[in-house]
Amino acid sequence: MTTLCIATFLTSAVLAPSGGILAVDSRGIGVFDAGKWASMDSMFLEGPKVPQSTVDRLTAGACYSLSPNGAASEARANLTFQPDERDPLWSVEGNESPFLWFGPKPAALRVNSVKLDSSEYLRVAREYLKTKGLPNAKPVLHSVSQVDLDGNGTSEVLIILGSRKVADLGINFEDQFPSDSDYCAMIVREAKGKSVRTIEVEFYANKAKNGSGIVTLRGIWNLDGKPGAEVVTDWRSYESGATSISQFSQGKMKTVASAGAGV
């Protein structure tokens, strides 16, 4: 009897659907299927289009409304393809939650939000900005999250910072930051043995390689069930925007899926 139960359990564990689709602000962003992440359709899609049959299969089961702090509650929604020539997208119908995961309930992940007046992380931000040629910068912390990003058992710290509060960076109707001294950046603090290093993920300034732009944290979850986290961020620039899913591994943050629209 015991053997039979274990055998049944193992079979169901293997056959259980492991994939899923993340939608943010009613738009399909990324799909995890057959062990890999891919972008959902948008004007930025460079890879193959996501087949309707894949979406049907992955959205047939449960769907969860996620909160940025990691809680997940069962929800109901559908994903429908909108074949707009310029801006194709998978759109959520029947649910207005900002974050929906069509897939198995996400594994628990501990994320600690650090206070934004933290003198330690303000110091880290100033030290980082010195390496960007800004020796006297007075950064504002936008978000500071302690979390084991790569699943190696040690927490990293994901920091987003800027020269002003997000609302004051003013990128919505301008193609540049208000001044050439403005910036926005995302960095990771990683402990390596006894030392700690700062890794740049994104840096935006009027005269930076990527130009002006704003990155904001939307949420951090473990969606694919593998060790580590999926970090969901928004990027906004002049009349353009995208939501991305990234993973941190071996000291590097890599975008695994992204969808957006713009000029």
Q: Pick the closer one to Ca ion by CB: 59 or 145.
A: 145
**Nearest one of 116, 113, 91 to 102, comparing CA atoms:** 91
183-192/63-66 β-pairing = unpaired
Q: Are 97 and 86 in contact (CB under 8 A)?
A: no
CB of 126 to Ca ion, least distance (A): 24
Q: Pick between residue 148 and residue 182 the one whose CB is nearest to Ca ion.
A: 148
Do residues 154 and 141 touch, judged by C-beta distance below 8 A? no
Nearer to Ca ion, 54 or 155 (CB): 155
Question: Between 41 and 156, whose beta carbon lies closer to Ca ion?
Answer: 156
- Can you give the binding site for Ca ion, defined by CB under 5 A? 148, 150, 152, 154, 156
- Can you tell me the distance from the alpha carbon of 23 to that of 87, in angstroms, rounded to the nearest whole number? 16
- Write down the least CB distance from residue 156 to Ca ion, Å: 5
Task: Find the helix or strand (DSSP H, E) in which 144 lies.
Answer: strand 140-147
Kindly report the length of the chain. Answer: 263
**Nearest to residue 234, comparing CAs of 221, 218, 223?**
218
Nearest distance, CB of residue 118 and Ca ion, angstroms: 19
In the complex with Ca ion, the residue whose CB is nearer, 107 or 134, is 107
Kindly tell me which of 144 and 205 has the beta carbon lying closer to Ca ion: 144
Q: Which of 157, 149, 175 is nearest to 120 (CA)?
A: 157
Least distance (Å) between residue 114 CB and Ca ion: 16
* Residue 217 DSSP one-character state: E
> What's the min distance (Å) between Cβ of 107 and Ca ion?
15
Closest CA to 259 of 33, 20, 49: 49
CB 37 within 8 A of CB 54: no
